[in-house]
Each structure stands twice: as structure tokens, then as C-alpha cells.
């Protein structure tokens, strides 16, 4: 788990650095562990505690949404997904690119 701060955050510079580092670690581990059929992915939800409540969807991201995303990645039907960052943020990661 991480946050969408890896996309950049003027108010949360340290969080953006940590999230970016974690994304890099996840991708590197996915490369290293793929031969052993070990999958490594990252879920990056929006963070309502950080005032990150903007969304393209009509309701904010709930804990249940993030849990369902984790369950999907743990399911054998997603066995071909590795090294990916899955934004579970209701579209707020798209809106961040508009905030220039």
C-alpha cells in the first residue's frame, strides 16, 4: 500500500518522496521475483486524511474499495499482473495532472 502522492504533491513533499521510492522498490522486486512466480504490486489509494477527497466518481473511495482491490490482486485470476501500480482513488490521480 502506498498513496497517489508519488504523482507529486506541493503540500506533501516528504510523502511524495516516500511513495515514489516505494513504487520504485515494488517494480524492482517484481523484476527480481518474477522468475520464482512471485508477484509484487502496489495499491495507491487516495488519502482522505490528507484532504485528498476530489474524485471523478460520485462517492469518495472507501476502505472497502481498497480492500476489494487487494482481494483482486490476491486472487488467482490476477496471476498475470505484476510490477503494477493500481490507483484506487476514484480518478483523483487523473485530476492531479490538471492542478498545474
pLDDT at position 40: 97
Q: Give the start-to-end residue ranges of the domains of the chain.
A: 4-96
pTM of the model: 0.81
Rounded Cα distance, 98 and 23, in Å: 22
3-class secondary-structure state, position 29? helix
> Residue 31's pLDDT band (boundaries 50, 70, 90)?
very high
4-96 classified as CATH 3.40.50.720: yes
Strands (E), the chain: 42-45, 85-88
**What's residue 96's pLDDT?**
62
Residue 100: predicted pLDDT: 43
pLDDT digits (tens, 9 = 90+) for 6-19: 777 778 888 888 98
Each residue's pLDDT tens digit, 39-96:
999 999 876 655 555 667 778 788 899 999 999 999 999 999 999 999 888 877 777 6
pLDDT of residue 98: 54
Amino acid at each position: 500500500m502506498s498513496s497517489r502522492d508519488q504523482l507529486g504533491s506541493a503540500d506533501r513533499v516528504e510523502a511524495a518522496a516516500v511513495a515514489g521510492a516505494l513504487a520504485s522498490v515494488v517494480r524492482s522486486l517484481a523484476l527480481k521475483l518474477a522468475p520464482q512466480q512471485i508477484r509484487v504490486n502496489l495499491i495507491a489509494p487516495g488519502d482522505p486524511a490528507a484532504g485528498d477527497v476530489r474524485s471523478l466518481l460520485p462517492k469518495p473511495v472507501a476502505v472497502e474499495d481498497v480492500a476489494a482491490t487487494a482481494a483482486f490482486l490476491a486472487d488467482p485470476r490476477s496471476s498475470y499482473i505484476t510490477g503494477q501500480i493500481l490507483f484506487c482513488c476514484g480518478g483523483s490521480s487523473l485530476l492531479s495532472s490538471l492542478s498545474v
